[in-house]
Amino acid sequence: MDESSTIAAVATAPGRGGVAVVRVSGPEAFDIASTLTGRHVDAACAGRFFHAVLRHGGKPLDDGLVLVFKAPASYTGEDVVEFQTHGGVVAPHRVLSACLACGARLARRGEFTQRAFLNGRLDISAAEAVIDLVDAKTDRAADDAVARLGGAAARADADLYAAALDISSRLEHALDFSEDELPPGYVEDISADIGTLVERIASELKRLREGKILREGALVVLAGPPNAGKSSLLNALLGEKRAIVSAEAGTTRDSIEEWLDVGGWPVRLVDTAGIRRAANAVEAEGVERAEELVARADLVVALDLDVPGALRVHSKCDLGRGEGLNVSAVTGEGLDALREAIASRLAARAASGDEPQAEASARRGELLGAAREALARAAEGLPDLVLAANGARAAAESLGRLAGKVYADDLLDSLFSRFCIGK
C-alpha cells in the first residue's frame, strides 16, 4: 500500500441526511484544506472546528464546518481533515471531487482503518471490531465489538502468547540438561501449565463461537406441518403481520426471513412452507427449501414436528395444550418463555464447541485451533522434552500471529476489504 499518498472519501452513508462527512488523510491534507477554505490550515488548527465556504476554482461548493487533526493524534495516525457538508448526494461529492482535483486519490475500501492499523493506532483485533461495530444488529453485538475495540481481545491474545512463550522457553532451556539434572516435579509442573493454557484457549474459542453468532446472526427456522401456526408465531414474535395467515393449508409457499433481537442475540427468524407431501410443483419447491433450511439452521423451532435437537413448541395452546413448550400467538402466552428458550439454546451452542472453527473465524479460529492442537502434541510428548518443546514452539508461533506479532499482506487485504469506502 502506498502510504505516501493522500486519500479522500465520503465517510458517511449515501442518501438523504442532514450532514455528510468528507474525510481526507495524508501528507497533503492540510494543503487541500487550505485550498478549499481559502485560509491557511496547519497543525495550529488541530482539535477545533471552524466554519468555511468551500470553494474550488473560484466556484462555491458548499457551506460547512472543517475539523483538523494533526498526526499522530488522528484516526489514521496521519494529518487528517474532515469536511462536514450538507447531506444528500451532490454536496459531499462536489467537495470530494475538489479534494481529488487538488491531489488526493479516492480511498480504497477500509483504507483509512488499514492506515490506522499500520500506523499503530489500532491492533488487528480492534480493526476487526470496527467493522463488527458498524454491522452490529443488537446491543449485545455492539457491546462485544466495543469491548474488543477497547483492547479486550488484544490483551487476551497477548496473555495467551506470553503464557505459550514461557512454556516454550522453559522447555527449550531444559533441553540443555539431562533428565537427572532437572528439578523435582519439573515434568509435572510443565504438564499442568500446558493443561491450564489449553483450558484458556478453549474459553477463547467459546467466546469466538459466540462472537460469530453476534456478528452474523443465528439462523432460527420455524418448521412444521401446514397449519401448525408457524406464520402466526412469526408475526407474534415480530409484533407485526409479516406473514400471511390462513386456515387454508399450504399458504406459505416460500421462506420468509426477518431479523429479530432475542435476548441480545441477533436472530434471522425464518418462516417456512409446511412440511408434508406436496400437492403441486410450487408447494414441492417450498417444502424442499424448508428442509434445506432445517438442515442449515443454528436452531430449529419445531411446531408439532419431530426434528432431532430442535426446540419443540406447540403454538396453539389457547385451543388446547400440546407437546413441548406451549405458546399462543393469539393470547401471547408463552412468548416470553419461547424467547428465553431460544436465547438459552444459542448460548449453549456458543459454549458447545460444535461450531467448525474455520467458520467461526477465518483467522482467530484457525490460529487458536492450531495452538490447541500443538499444545496437545506437547502434552502427549512428555516426558520426551524434544517432542514437548516442538509442540510448545508451534503453539507459541500460532499465538504470536494471533497477537499481531506477525501478519501477512493477504490477511490485511481480506480484513480491510470488508469495510466500506470512507472507513
pLDDT in tens, 340-374: 999 999 888 877 654 433 333 557 788 898 999 99
SS (H, E, C) the chain: CCCCCCEEEECCCCCCCCEEEEEEECCCHHHHHHHHHCCCCCHHHCCCEEEEEEEECCEEEEEEEEEEECCCCCCCCCCEEEEEEECCCHHHHHHHHHHHHCCCEECCCCHHHHHHHHCCCCCHHHHHHHHHHHHCCCHHHHHHHHHHHCCHHHHHHHHHHHHHHHHHHHHHHHCCCCHHHCCCCHHHHHHHHHHHHHHHHHHHHHHHHHHHHHHHCEEEEEECCCCCCHHHHHHHHHCCCCCCCCCCCCCCCCCEEEEEEECCEEEEEEECCCCCCCCCHHHHHHHHHHHHHHHHCCEEEEECCCCCCCEEEECECCCCCCCCEECECCCCCCHHHHHHHHHHHHHHHHHHCCCCHHHHCCCHHHHHHHHHHHHHHHHHHCCCHHHHHHHHHHHHHHHHHHCCCCCCHHHHHHHHCCCCCCC
pLDDT tens by residue, 283-294? 567 677 878 888
> What is the structure's pLDDT at 182?
80
> What is the structure's pLDDT at 242?
65
> What is the structure's pLDDT at 8?
96
Looking up cell 482539535 gives 47
pLDDT tens by residue, 127-154? 777 877 877 777 877 887 888 777 777 7
C-alpha cell at 169: 522457553
| 7-122 classified as CATH 3.40.1790.10 | no
CATH annotation of 124-403:
3.40.50.300
> What is the structure's pLDDT at 353?
53
Q: Tell me the average pLDDT across 221-232.
A: 87
Q: Domain-by-domain residue ranges, the chain?
A: 7-122, 124-403
Which has more pLDDT, 151 or 253? 151
Of the listed ranges 164-168, 213-217, 418-422, the one predicted with least confidence: 418-422
Looking up cell 480493526 gives 127
